[in-house]
Amino acid sequence: MIALGAQPSSGELFGSHGHRWILEDPLTDDGLADLEAQVGVRLPDDYRSFLTCVGAGGAGPAYGLFPVRRVQGRWRWEGDGAELADLAMLARPFPEHGPDPEALDALLAVRPEEEDFEEIEDFDDAIEAWDERWEPLMFAPERTAGAIVISHLGCAQREWLIISGTHRGTVWSDCRADDADLVPLLNQHGKPVTFAHWYTDWLRKAELTAHRPGTNA
């Protein structure tokens, strides 16, 4: 990571100004045990190994891997949107299904459109009222039980690591800000992406880009 950050074009890579190629110190074994005792679940093995052997967060995909830190005696993940994860629900299985598709379609069908309003204030009021119905459906804490936010891609798009349930160990894309439900990231073979694959794939691509002449971002 140090060598990669030293490349002349490393600062041009997407998100690098967010993490600056810096990794936080790894967790101790005792620190990891304390973290898992607090959240009530064993973290996926590849993520556990990363935390204790590589770093507790920092340089990584997009604007970086959200660090996990102990603040005032309690562990928490920190980053743009990290608070979306309910730490009290991490031991619960990540749900097999998202919101009812029919309910989503019905609500999307009545989403206010700006061109239908003569006054922008009226549109603002209408979309605010619509959002009050949409957000409980899409952003209910139960939707992301058993998962933590690990990265922010910008424009309120994030990626989650599932730590409980049948999808444990996989990474999911969150584009709910664009009215799309969470979906698993898939590799070139259509298989769910694990944390290890997610990180090493980014590292491989970052190395290729950083060493490429004339990098533009």
Q: What is the CATH number of the domain that holds 153?
A: 3.40.1580.10
Residue type, 8: P
The answer to whether residues 121 and 15 belong to one domain is: no
- Could you give the CA distance from residue 201 to residue 203 in angstroms, rounded to a whole number? 5
Count of domains for the chain: 2
In this prediction, residues 58-85 reach a mean pLDDT of: 96
Domain contains 215: no
The answer to whether residues 109 and 131 belong to one domain is: yes
Contacts of 61 (CB under 8 A, 6+ apart): 15, 151, 159, 198, 199, 202
Helix (H) or strand (E) holding 148: strand 147-154
Highest mean pLDDT among 7-21, 76-90, 203-217: 76-90
Domain contains 217: no
Domain contains 216: no
Task: State how far the alpha carbon of 34 is from the alpha carbons of 27, 42, 105, 123, 196, in Å.
Answer: 10, 11, 43, 49, 23
Determine the pLDDT at residue 11.
Answer: 61
The answer to whether residues 45 and 62 belong to one domain is: yes
More confident residue, 201 or 19: 201
What is the DSSP pairing of strand 147-154 with strand 157-162? antiparallel
Domain holding 129, by residue range, is: 100-139
The answer to whether residues 106 and 179 belong to one domain is: no
Contacts of 128 (CB under 8 A, 6+ apart): none
Determine the pLDDT at residue 22.
Answer: 86
Task: State how far the alpha carbon of 209 is from the alpha carbons of 68, 167, 177, 202, in Å.
Answer: 28, 31, 29, 10
Between the CA atoms of 162, 165, 169 and 173, what dihedral angle is there, to the nearest 10 degrees? -40
Return the SS3 of 70: strand
- What global pTM score does this model have? 0.89
Q: Read off the tokens for 90.
A: 């991490």
The answer to whether residues 8 and 91 belong to one domain is: yes
Contacts of 67 (CB under 8 A, 6+ apart): 24, 56, 57, 58, 77, 78, 79
The answer to whether residues 73 and 148 belong to one domain is: yes
- Could you give the CA distance from residue 152 to residue 149 in angstroms, rounded to a whole number? 8
Domain contains 176: yes
Last residue of a domain, one of 111, 139, 167: 139
Return the SS3 of 103: helix
The answer to whether residues 8 and 58 belong to one domain is: yes
In this prediction, residues 4-10 reach a mean pLDDT of: 59
Distance of CA 40 to the CA centre of its chain: 20
In this prediction, residues 140-157 reach a mean pLDDT of: 96
The answer to whether residues 50 and 65 belong to one domain is: yes
Q: What percent of the chain has pLDDT over 70?
A: 87
- Could you give the CA distance from residue 178 to residue 154 in angstroms, rounded to a whole number? 12
Domain contains 17: yes
